[in-house]
């Protein structure tokens, strides 16, 4: 079992006016390759702060993050951008699809941004939409799809360029329980059958059984594993 991401005493403070919020305090976790890792905790516990740091979208106040052997907290912003574009995929709470584009075009556009070879984009986009169970909906626009289906398009887009890790911050928060479970099961299937590595946050206790590894956050601290 190999860790793809590892943190060392990760802390993140936010200063607003005279107040300092200690959003993360000395977090030491490992994200294992080929696993579904769940970061769980109440609203305000630090999940988004942590997943943004793991995904190189933010920098810690102190501590280190290693991505394989590279200390990403030491990289220039440009290098971190590049790492993110080529090695990471993101799924957010509100599905951020482009409304003028079909499911297929959304995924293809993501591939273009990631610099995926032009000749292979069409095949890869269709392949990913099939993997998320939307092979018959590739020409549908977002408004012609259910919330759960839209989130599946977002997952196809996040995985299409074959990133080493996919980060999903509360991808089920705006879905009803049944659709939310479908989305998490899909992540599980992609991990088990396609060998993807997924990090997902949730405040829903029902979701945690599906994770290979669960870290619980309370007030910015990891309280159990
Ligand atoms: N940009 C920010 N400025 C000030 N405080 C913030 C900022 N981002 C998050 N926080 C605070 O950090 C804590 C953790 O927030 P967050 O990581 O968003 O929690 P979660 O995702 O678990 O709901 C909260 O107290 C939140 O108010
Ligand atoms: Mg959050």
Looking up residue 219, the CATH number of its domain turns out to be: 3.40.50.300
181 C-beta neighbours (distance < 10 Å), count:
17
Ligand 1 centroid from CA 145, angstroms? 32
Ligand 2 centroid from CA 50, angstroms? 9
47 near 209, Cβ under 8 Å? Answer: no
Smallest CA-to-CA distance from 128 within 157, 105, 163, 168 is with 157
Is 23 near ligand 1, meaning CB less than 6 Å away?
yes
Report how far apart, in Å, the C-alpha atoms of 86 and of each of 71, 90, 166, 206 are.
17, 12, 11, 32
- Residuewise pLDDT in 10s, the chain (225 residues): 899 999 999 999 999 899 999 999 999 999 999 999 999 999 999 999 999 999 999 999 999 999 998 999 999 999 999 999 999 999 988 878 999 999 999 999 999 999 999 999 999 999 999 999 999 999 999 999 998 899 999 999 999 999 999 999 999 888 888 888 888 999 999 999 989 999 999 988 877 788 999 999 999 999 975
Range of the domain at 74: 3-224
- Structurally, how many domains does the chain consist of? 1
Nearest-ligand number for the alpha carbon of 25: 1
């Amino acid at each position: 079992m190999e860790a793809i991401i590892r943190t060392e005493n990760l802390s993140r403070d936010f200063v607003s006016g005279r107040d300092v919020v200690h959003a993360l305090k000395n977090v030491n976790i490992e994200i294992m390759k080929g696993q579904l890792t769940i970061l769980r905790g109440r609203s305000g516990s630090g999940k988004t702060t942590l997943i943004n740091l793991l995904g190189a979208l933010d920098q810690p106040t102190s501590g280190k993050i290693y991505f394989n052997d590279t200390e990403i907290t030491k990289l220039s912003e440009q290098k971190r951008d590049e790492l993110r574009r080529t090695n990471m995929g993101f799924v957010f709470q509100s599905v951020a699809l482009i409304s003028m584009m079909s499911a297929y075009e959304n995924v293809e556009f993501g591939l273009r941004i990631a610099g995926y070879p032009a000749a292979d984009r069409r095949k890869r986009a269709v392949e990913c939409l099939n993997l998320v169970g939307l092979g018959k909906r590739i020409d549908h626009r977002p408004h012609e799809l259910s919330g759960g289906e839209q989130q599946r398009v977002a997952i196809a887009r996040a995985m299409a360029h074959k990133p080493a890790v996919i980060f999903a911050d509360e991808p089920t928060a705006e879905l009803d329980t049944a659709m939310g479970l479908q989305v998490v099961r899909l992540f599980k299937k992609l991990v088990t059958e396609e060998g993807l590595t997924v990090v997902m946050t949730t405040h829903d206790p029902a979701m945690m059984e599906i994770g290979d590894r669960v870290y619980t956050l309370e007030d910015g601290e990891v309280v159990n594993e």
